[in-house]
Amino acid sequence: MTVGDMRYRITLQESVMTPDGGGGFSQAWQDISETPEVYAAVEQLSVAEIFRYRQIMSRVTHRFVIRYRADVTAGMRIVHDGVSHDIAAIVDRDGMKRKLEILAVKV
């Protein structure tokens, strides 16, 4: 994927625990504080690719590529076109901190 492929706007979100009023907590999602909206290349994985990634995780459905940032972690979520995707894995493919490949599961 090239920089020109990064034309889709996505929002990065993190999980926060909020009091539920009954002494417990419930999970809520909020945009991350620093630049939550970024451009990304978005690719729905084919059945063959899903099978290849099955060795790592069984339900990966999408690949997102964004410019490198250190604040993205597994357990966060991406919202693209109103659809949420849980981040399952993050890979710095070339080790040069230029791009992040994010494998995600459509919720």
Domain ranges of the chain: 3-106
Measured over the CA atoms of residue 50, residue 73, residue 97 and residue 80, the dihedral's sign is: positive
* pLDDT for the residue 29: 95
Q: Quick: pLDDT tens for 25-81.
A: 999 999 998 899 999 999 988 665 556 555 555 578 899 999 999 999 999 999 999
User: How much is the pTM?
Assistant: 0.83
CATH of domain 3-106: 2.40.10.270
* pLDDT for the residue 49: 57
* pLDDT for the residue 61: 86
Query: What pLDDT band is residue 21 in, cutting at 50, 70 and 90?
Result: confident
